[in-house]
Amino acid sequence: MPSPVPQATDSAPDQPAVEALFEAARAVREHAHAPYSRFRVGAALVDEAGRIHAGCNVENAAYPVGSCAEAGAIAAMVAAGGRRIAAILVLGDGPIPVTPCGACRQRIREFAGPDTPVLAADPAGLRARFTLDALLPASFGPENLA
């Protein structure tokens, strides 16, 4: 069940919201199924109602049918009735911040606007902050089909 989180008053999540997203991503990352790459990722997002939804990567022996952590978090949000991403945090190990892949950037765009915060973290804490527009400039979204 999604848990509530304090919401920031502007487009950037406040510290309690960032901490709640970090803890949710850290916890779900422990359940990642990554026997091939050993690259475990957790993602957590906060929806328009302030609820946190989390997902982890799930690899498959037939590589293309695995799923990203962000896709899992988005699916959890939609399943719980959420329709808008207020902020998302992605947590993974590496020498540089782990950001969503191209496909996940587009998945996020379906439910988020250009100034939606996208946070990159590793197990030690927050590494970088982006907007969705910085990661996916001049994007194609639902309003293009209106």
Catalytic residues: 70
Per DSSP, the three-state class of 109 is helix
Distance CA 84, CA 7 (A): 13
Contact (CB, 8 A) for 77 and 47: yes
Burial class from Cβ neighbours inside 10 Å (0-12, 13-18, 19+) for residue 30 reads exposed
